[in-house]
C-alpha cells in the first residue's frame, strides 16, 4: 500500500481536492495508493471534519502544547510515521518545519505554494505579485527541502493578473488551479512508483 498522509491547518481545500481525486480516479485500485491519515496542528481545523466523513483517520498535534518547535516536530514526526507513509503532503499546513523533520521525510514530502516559484517565496504572495506589476501569477507544487520553497518543481499553473485584481480575487483564481494541479502532481508521482500504473 502506498500510504499518503496529508497535513492541514484549516479548511484543507487542497486536501479535499486530493481525496476526491483519489476516490474518483480509483487510486487504490489503480496504484495501490490511498490517503491513510489527515493530521492537523489545530483541533478546530474544518478539514478534519471532511476527512472523518470520508472514513480517513485524523489526528491533532497541537503546536501550542510543545515548548519548542523541535519538540513539536518530533511529536508530529511520530504521528506521521505511525502510518508508514510513502508520501507526506502539505496542504495549507501553516507551520515552518525544522531541518531534522524535513530531512527525515526527504524525497517523500511535497507542498503547494501560491506563486510561480522561484518568484515570491514565503508569505503574502498574491499582494506581492500585484505590487510588482506581474502580468501572471500562479501556483507551484514542489518537493520540500530544508530551504523554504526551493525544492524540485513538480507542477505549475499560471493565471493572469487582471487590472482590477486585489489579493482576494487573485487568491481565489489561483486556488481554483491549485485544486487541479495538486492532485495531478500526486497522480504523476503514483504513476512513477506504482507497478499497477496504467
Catalytic site positions: 113
C-alpha cell at 177: 488551479
- Paired with 36 in beta bridges are none
C-alpha cell at 152: 524540485
Question: C-alpha 93: how far from its chain's center?
Answer: 7
Please give the Cα distance from 15 to 38 (Å, whole number).
Answer: 8
Please give the Cα distance from 113 to 94 (Å, whole number).
Answer: 11
Please give the Cα distance from 59 to 5 (Å, whole number).
Answer: 11
Given strand 33-40, what is the order of strands in its sheet? 57-60, 33-40, 2-8, 87-90, 109-113, 136-143, 153-160
Amino acid at each position: 500500500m502506498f500510504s499518503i498522509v496529508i497535513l492541514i491547518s484549516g479548511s484543507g481545500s487542497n486536501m479535499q481536492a486530493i481525496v476526491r481525486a483519489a476516490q474518483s480516479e480509483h487510486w487504490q485500485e489503480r496504484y495501490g495508493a490511498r490517503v491513510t491519515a489527515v493530521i492537523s496542528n489545530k483541533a478546530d481545523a474544518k478539514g478534519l471534519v471532511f476527512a472523518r466523513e470520508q472514513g480517513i483517520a485524523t489526528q491533532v498535534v497541537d503546536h501550542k502544547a510543545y515548548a519548542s518547535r523541535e519538540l513539536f516536530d518530533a511529536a508530529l514526526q511520530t504521528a506521521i510515521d505511525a502510518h508508514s507513509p510513502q508520501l507526506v503532503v502539505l496542504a495549507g499546513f501553516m507551520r515552518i518545519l525544522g531541518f531534522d523533520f524535513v530531512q527525515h521525510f526527504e524525497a517523500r514530502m511535497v507542498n503547494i505554494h501560491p506563486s510561480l516559484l522561484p518568484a515570491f517565496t514565503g508569505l503574502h504572495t498574491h499582494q506581492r505579485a500585484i505590487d510588482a506589476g506581474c502580468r501572471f501569477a500562479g501556483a507551484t507544487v514542489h518537493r520540500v527541502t530544508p530551504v523554504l520553497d526551493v525544492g524540485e518543481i513538480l507542477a505549475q499553473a499560471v493565471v493572469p493578473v487582471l487590472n482590477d485584481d486585489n489579493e482576494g480575487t487573485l487568491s481565489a483564481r489561483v486556488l481554483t488551479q491549485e485544486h487541479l494541479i495538486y492532485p495531478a502532481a500526486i497522480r504523476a508521482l503514483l504513476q512513477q512508483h506504482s507497478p499497477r500504473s496504467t
